[in-house]
């Protein structure tokens, strides 16, 4: 793995990953999280299974990777937050608005993401307390989840806890410690997922799940499959809101941006695909509906643990690791608005972190009540498409897609492919697949995203 040193701290008030921690680890920490294990399987389940997976992989390669290279190049070149970066490259232009959208998106995503992250902590505690020791059916696991999320105090309390954890890490500048940890913990997560996938695939009746997940059924293709595949690719890779601009601002000129981005995309996709291999065989073996939505992972995983020797130890391990994976992502989400207020408005880091943390917590409350605690919020847009789903689609799909569209235009036409190439080729680095990148960033990315968004606007079929 790429292990070059990071640029020494340029401006201590901004904070940075301490040196010697590989950028790939930090960026993979941002990318790998609930997006892979919670969001990917349920979105795939709602959008036709295998056909979604194939389109998703295409989007990771043809849109995700090129946009990631662009964001990293912009960040490393300017060593700034998204707003500052656009301002520096094109002062007095409207480009900074795209950076601003990223800052808002960071808070928007964090507000509902921390709710689900809080649930992973709650589930860790529940498993340790033996709440799942005697479950016999997936229906029972479903009931446990429903009564758990129906309690407003628990949901809001866990949201508060997770935002607090994120705030403490970002404020204390201990991100480096977290990254060092996650270097050890993430391979363990990978290993546990492999073991769980084996258990899941060997359950009686699992074949149907494998067929659903791996054998494309083209009749299930709809245009919303495209919207969600695009949104999911950007969400999972932390793209379209400047996270990778912010992280790129800490990479050394010695690093090859293309291979670094390639590693991040590869590991992120690997974990997501594996999560699907855990989820779908078990889901079909237990006769559940693959389109069950956000609760899927919380119902399916405990049902698998119940069928494994030592399953509860496994279960506790998985949910703990999931919480850590979520934390390395929430850190990166909070870092974008914090870096913005510190750089552009001269706020003290502490003030920026506390204020942004408070805003996030308050914004997260309706999402925390949207999985059963409050009837109106639970069915906010339509039956069972609540406020959390709304925020997830709004910020997790649309904001990121709009952001990625403009970042592609910026890299492809405004700042220009030569400038990006120049940045990638610093210190003799080779720009692998350069022509493919140029073609993709100038034509494929903007066109594909535009067509998808235009279609959505045309049909008015937003959710
Ligand atoms: N990529 C993260 C995940 O999959 C979520 C995220 C999105 C983080 C956007 C930062 C920016 O869990």
Q: Which residues of 183-219 are buried (b: 16+ CB within 10 A; e: fewer)?
A: bebbeebeebbeebbebbbebeebeebbebbeebeee
Protein residue closest via CA to atom 2 of ligand 1: 31
For a ligand 1 pocket test, name from 243, 246, 395 the mutation site with the most ligand atoms within 8 angstroms of its C-beta: 243
Straight-line distance from the first to the last Cα atom of the chain, in angstroms, rounded to the nearest whole number: 40
Distance CA 193, CA 93 (A): 47
CA–centroid distance, residue 236 to ligand 1 (Å): 5
Protein residue closest via CA to atom 10 of ligand 1: 238
Question: Which atom number of ligand 1 is nearest to the Cα of residue 31?
Answer: 1
CA–centroid distance, residue 440 to ligand 1 (Å): 23
CA–centroid distance, residue 357 to ligand 1 (Å): 17
Which residue shows structure tokens 């709304």?
A: 390
Closest to 190 (Cα-Cα) out of 357, 355, 325: 325
Which residue shows structure tokens 């400038």?
A: 419
For a ligand 1 pocket test, name from 26, 27, 31, 182 the mutation site with the most ligand atoms within 8 angstroms of its C-beta: 31
For a ligand 1 pocket test, name from 29, 35, 234 the mutation site with the most ligand atoms within 8 angstroms of its C-beta: 35
135 CB-near residues (< 8 Å, 6+ apart): 141, 144, 302, 303, 306
Helical pair 349-368 and 311-345, crossing angle rounded to 10 deg: 130
Closest to 81 (Cα-Cα) out of 236, 247, 261: 247
For the record, the structure tokens of 194 come out as 């492999």
Distance CA 111, CA 107 (A): 6
For a ligand 1 pocket test, name from 38, 106, 108, 236 the mutation site with the most ligand atoms within 8 angstroms of its C-beta: 236
User: Around Cβ 412, how many Cβ atoms within 10 Å?
Assistant: 22
| pLDDT tens, per residue, the chain with 463 residues | 333 333 333 344 454 544 434 788 889 999 999 999 999 999 999 999 999 999 999 999 999 999 999 999 999 999 999 999 999 999 999 999 999 999 999 999 999 999 999 999 999 999 999 999 889 889 999 999 999 999 999 999 999 999 999 999 998 766 677 777 778 888 899 999 999 999 999 999 999 999 999 999 999 998 899 999 999 999 999 999 999 999 898 888 888 999 999 999 999 999 999 999 999 999 999 999 999 999 999 999 999 999 888 889 989 999 999 999 999 999 999 999 999 999 999 999 999 999 999 999 999 999 999 999 999 999 999 998 999 999 999 999 999 999 999 999 999 999 999 999 999 999 999 999 999 999 999 999 999 999 999 999 999 888 8
Question: Which atom number of ligand 1 is nearest to the Cα of residue 333?
Answer: 10
Q: What is the pLDDT at residue 11?
A: 42
Q: What is the pLDDT at residue 436?
A: 97
231 CB-near residues (< 8 Å, 6+ apart): 393, 396, 397, 398, 400, 401
CA–centroid distance, residue 139 to ligand 1 (Å): 30
Question: Which atom number of ligand 1 is nearest to the Cα of residue 325?
Answer: 12
Question: Which atom number of ligand 1 is nearest to the Cα of residue 329?
Answer: 8
Tell me phi and psi for residue 202, to 5 degrees.
-90, 5
Our measurement of the distance from residue 82's CA atom to the centroid of its chain's CA atoms, rounded to an integer in Å, reads: 18
Distance CA 182, CA 186 (A): 5
Distance CA 189, CA 297 (A): 15
Ligand 1: list residues with CB < 6 Å. Answer: 30-31, 33-36, 109, 235-236, 238, 241, 243, 329, 332-333
């Amino acid at each position: 793995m790429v292990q070059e040193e990071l640029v020494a701290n340029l401006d201590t008030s901004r904070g940075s990953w301490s040196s010697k921690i590989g950028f790939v680890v930090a960026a993979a920490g941002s990318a790998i999280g609930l997006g892979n294990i919670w969001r990917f399987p349920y979105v795939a389940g709602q959008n036709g299974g295998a056909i979604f997976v194939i389109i998703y992989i295409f989007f990771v390669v043809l849109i995700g990777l090129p946009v990631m290279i662009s964001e990293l190049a912009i960040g490393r070149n300017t060593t700034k937050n998204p707003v500052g970066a656009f301002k520096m490259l094109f002062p007095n232009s409207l480009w900074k608005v795209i950076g601003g959208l990223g800052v808002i998106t960071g808070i928007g995503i964090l507000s509902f993401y921390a709710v689900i992250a809080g649930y992973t902590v709650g589930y860790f505690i529940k498993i340790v307390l033996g709440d799942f020791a005697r479950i016999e059916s997936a229906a029972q696991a479903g009931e446990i989840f429903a009564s758990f999320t129906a309690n407003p105090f628990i949901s809001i309390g866990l949201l508060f806890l997770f935002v607090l954890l994120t705030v403490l890490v970002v404020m204390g500048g201990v991100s480096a410690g977290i990254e060092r940890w996650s270097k050890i913990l993430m391979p363990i997560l990978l290993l546990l997922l492999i073991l769980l996938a084996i258990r899941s695939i060997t359950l009686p009746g699992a074949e149907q799940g494998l067929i659903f997940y791996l054998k494309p059924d083209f009749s299930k293709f709809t245009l919303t499959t495209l919207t969600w595949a695009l949104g999911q690719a950007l969400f999972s890779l932390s793209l379209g809101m400047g996270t990778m601009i912010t992280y790129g601002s800490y990479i050394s000129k010695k690093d090859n941006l293309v291979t670094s981005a390639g590693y991040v995309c590869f590991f992120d996709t690997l974990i997501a695909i594996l999560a699907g291999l855990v989820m779908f065989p078990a889901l079909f073996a237990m006769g559940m509906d693959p389109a069950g939505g956000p609760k899927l992972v919380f119902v399916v995983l405990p049902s698998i643990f119940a069928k494994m020797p030592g399953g509860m130890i496994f279960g506790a391990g998985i949910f703990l690791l999931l919480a850590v994976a979520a934390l390395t992502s929430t850190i990166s989400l909070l870092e974008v608005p914090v870096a913005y207020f510190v750089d552009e408005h001269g706020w003290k880091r502490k003030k920026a972190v506390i204020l942004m943390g408070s805003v996030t917590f308050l914004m997260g409350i309706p999402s925390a009540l949207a999985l059963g605690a409050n009837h109106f919020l639970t069915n906010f847009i339509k039956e069972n498409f609540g406020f959390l789903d709304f925020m997830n689609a709004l910020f997790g799909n649309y904001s990121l897609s709009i952001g990625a569209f403009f970042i592609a235009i910026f890299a492809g036409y405004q700042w220009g492919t030569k400038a990006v190439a120049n940045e990638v080729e610093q210190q003799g680095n080779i720009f692998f697949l350069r022509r493919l990148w140029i073609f993709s960033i100038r034509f494929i990315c903007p066109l594909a995203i535009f067509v998808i968004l235009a279609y959505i606007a045309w049909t008015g079929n937003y959710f």
